[in-house]
């Protein structure tokens, strides 16, 4: 504890203590939309020399931007909202951060303590509302606890399995005067996040590898969250075991590497799904056996031994019973395994995989009479040298991006993967660009998803954040259309989002961008696309490229929900 001689220290408002505590955590950028119960925090922010406050145009835009910042940088994303509707507008982003294990601290204003529970103006029980979708939450009842609670919030959000933490602060607590005492370190008896695998457990894993003829690595977001990408690359190189990645894991192992099986799961590569299901050893590292990966879960990887390493004990045996369960930080486990693992001879297995790769490449039948979304993504990938940070909305374009943009490094693809929240792409891209101003950041979006947080064009313009938006505009909710075509005899149930009386696409995204004082362009001819992408990438501001694509395209391969890899649809 730092002790203060109260004679020399002047008391300051609780709100000011919050901002000083954030500065001490190294916060440089935060996202905040003001209101009655959070005004005091905003007043204090105007005096901060260290924190840049970004004013979004909706609290959902703000929390997605904070997530984009966290996903791209690995730091804790921070957002502030007022009580009631301000706080409830954060809920989708909190659920998203929880599902994808993203470190986030959300600070909400609350009505004064004496009004709590009385249905005061703009009152919501934020603690009750967010409890199921956060890692932890606090209602600050005493101004003297602010320094400790903020420090704990950052510690909890960023350690172990990362996640969102909410700190709800009543207005009268923000206004109370106090001489703050800032703790130097966190002491929490009930929370011990650093778990390391026992040497015997690691030996069990190397023994299993030594016996295996057809091993496969199945890796995900845990690799990225724990900073284990480098260790994974060395481990794969040393053992020569092929690597399949989840959407959350894309980029943790370079997709251009000969050992890469790319993405597995519902829309994953046939060769990844075959390898995982026909292998005799599955090394599941930093993954959670999500239903979009496994399909019919009891049939998933049924022929092999399954090793599951995860920092979160609640994930072990939750979705899939495994043979060798290990609770550990995955980076620690990989670095220790590297020291003792022996390379095996998997040449026959690799030959089999190469055969599948030739037989079932990630491909599509290109056309010249229109722009296919897959073609647009591949062209963008070429023109950005595969180096851009890419944010996506949710739907077909999200899966095509995962299939056709080859990611080579962690934190390069930002995707609402577990929750699948439309409207995520554009604000997440803004957050990522603030984390990496030197990098090209592109939001590959759908017309449906982009429209959900289109108001953040104002934030992009006024805060001078230059992200590039490529909308794959098919005038439909494409992924739902695909399911209608496959499973509902093509019956359209409110999935057309254009204007039937208009031959042009609706709405006019270029005019919309222009109304926010930003440039844009619409293309529908294949021959125009390269020039349009070039113009977009050259822009010094946010730029909206509206690419008209056919709605009849399906994301393939596809394993129907609840089926197995043998039921894959290729045509």
CA distances from 320 to 149, 288, 301 (A): 36, 9, 10
- Counting the structural domains of the chain, the total is 3
- Confidence band, pLDDT 50/70/90 cuts, at residue 123: very high
Phi and psi, residue 144, nearest 5°: -70, -20
Ranking 246-250, 348-352, 363-367, 525-529 by mean pLDDT, the lowest is 363-367
Residues 274 and 134 in one domain: no
- Confidence band, pLDDT 50/70/90 cuts, at residue 6: very low
Return the pLDDT at 571. 84
336-354 tens-digit pLDDT: 999 999 998 999 999 999 9
Return the pLDDT at 9. 87
293-312 tens-digit pLDDT: 999 999 999 989 999 999 99
Residues 353 and 407 in one domain: no
Residues 170 and 207 in one domain: no
% residues pLDDT > 70 (the chain): 99
pTM for the model stands at 0.96
**Is 5 part of a structural domain of the chain?**
no
Mean per-residue pLDDT of the chain: 96
CA-to-CA distance for 441 and 432, rounded, in angstroms? Answer: 7
Answer whether residue 261 shows pLDDT above 50: yes
Residues 457 and 519 in one domain: yes
**Is 4 part of a structural domain of the chain?**
no
The terminus-to-terminus CA distance of the chain in angstroms comes to: 65
Return the pLDDT at 194. 80
Average pLDDT over every residue of 10-28: 98
Return the pLDDT at 1. 53
Residues 268 and 145 in one domain: no
* Structural domain range at position 91: 12-178
Phi and psi, residue 83, nearest 5°: -75, 175
Residues 378 and 429 in one domain: yes
**Is 193 part of a structural domain of the chain?**
no
Residues 334 and 203 in one domain: yes
45-79 tens-digit pLDDT: 999 999 999 999 999 999 999 999 999 999 999 99
CA-to-CA distance for 492 and 511, rounded, in angstroms? Answer: 29
Return the pLDDT at 4. 53
Average pLDDT over every residue of 102-121: 97
Using the 8-state DSSP alphabet, how is residue 10 labeled?
P
Average pLDDT over every residue of 395-403: 98
Return the pLDDT at 3. 54
Residues 507 and 381 in one domain: yes
Answer whether residue 8 shows pLDDT above 70: no
Strands 281-285 and 215-219, bridge-based pairing: parallel
Q: Catalytic positions, please?
A: 59, 121-122, 171, 479
């Amino acid at each position: 504890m730092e002790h203060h001689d109260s004679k020399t220290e002047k008391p300051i408002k609780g709100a000011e203590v919050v901002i000083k505590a954030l500065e001490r955590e190294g916060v440089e950028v935060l996202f905040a939309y003001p209101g009655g119960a959070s005004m005091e925090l905003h007043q204090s922010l105007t005096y901060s020399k260290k924190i840049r406050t970004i004013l979004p145009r909706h609290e959902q835009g703000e929390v997605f931007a904070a997530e984009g910042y966290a996903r791209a940088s690995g730091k804790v994303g921070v957002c502030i909202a007022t009580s009631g509707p301000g706080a409830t507008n954060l809920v989708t982003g909190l659920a998203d951060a929880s599902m994808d294990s993203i470190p986030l601290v959300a600070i909400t204003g609350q009505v004064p303590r004496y009004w709590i529970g009385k249905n005061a103006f703009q009152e919501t029980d934020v603690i009750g509302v967010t409890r199921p979708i956060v890692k932890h939450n606090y209602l600050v009842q005493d101004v003297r606890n602010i320094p400790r609670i903020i420090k704990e919030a950052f510690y909890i959000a960023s350690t172990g399995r990362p996640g969102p933490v909410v700190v709800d602060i009543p207005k009268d607590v923000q206004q109370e005067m106090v001489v703050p005492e800032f703790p130097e370190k966190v002491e929490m008896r009930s929370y011990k996040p650093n778990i390391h695998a026992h040497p015997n457990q690691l030996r069990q894993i190397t023994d299993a590898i030594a016996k295996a003829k057809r091993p496969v690595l199945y890796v995900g977001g845990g690799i990225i969250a724990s900073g284990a990408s480098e260790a994974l690359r060395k481990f794969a190189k040393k053992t020569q075991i092929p690597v399949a990645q989840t959407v959350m894991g894309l980029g943790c192992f370079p997709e251009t590497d000969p050992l890469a099986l790319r993405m597995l799961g519902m829309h994953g590569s046939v060769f990844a799904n075959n390898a995982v299901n026909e292998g005799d050893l599955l090394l599941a590292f930093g993954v959670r056996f999500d239903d979009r990966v496994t399909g019919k879960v009891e049939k998933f990887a049924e022929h092999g031994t399954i090793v599951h390493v995860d920092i979160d004990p609640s994930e072990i045996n939750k979705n899939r019973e495994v043979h060798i369960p290990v609770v550990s930080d995955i980076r620690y486990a990989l670095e220790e395994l590297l020291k003792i693992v022996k390379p095996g001879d998997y040449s026959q297995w690799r030959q089999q995989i190469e055969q599948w790769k030739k037989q079932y490449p990630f491909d599509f039948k290109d056309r010249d009479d229109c722009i296919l979304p897959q073609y647009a993504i591949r062209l963008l990938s070429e023109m950005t040298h595969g180096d851009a940070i890419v944010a996506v909305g949710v739907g077909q374009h999200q899966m095509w991006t995962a299939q056709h943009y080859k990611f080579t490094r962690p934190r390069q693809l930002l995707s609402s993967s577990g929750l699948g929240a439309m409207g995520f792409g554009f604000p997440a891209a803004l957050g990522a660009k603030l984390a990496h101003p030197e990098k090209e950041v592109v939001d590959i979006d759908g017309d449906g998803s982009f429209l959900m947080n289109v108001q953040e064009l104002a934030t992009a313009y006024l805060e001078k954040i230059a992200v590039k938006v490529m909308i794959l505009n098919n005038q439909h909710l494409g992924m739902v259309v695909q399911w209608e075509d496959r499973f509902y005899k093509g019956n359209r149930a409110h999935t057309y989002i254009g204007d039937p009386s208009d031959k042009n696409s609706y709405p006019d995204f270029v005019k919309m961008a222009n109304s926010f004082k930003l440039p844009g362009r619409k293309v529908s001819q294949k021959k125009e696309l390269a020039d349009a992408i070039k113009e977009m990438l050259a822009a010094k501001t946010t730029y909206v490229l509206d690419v008209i694509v056919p709605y009849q395209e399906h994301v393939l391969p596809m394993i129907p929900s609840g089926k197995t890899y043998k039921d894959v649809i290729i045509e």
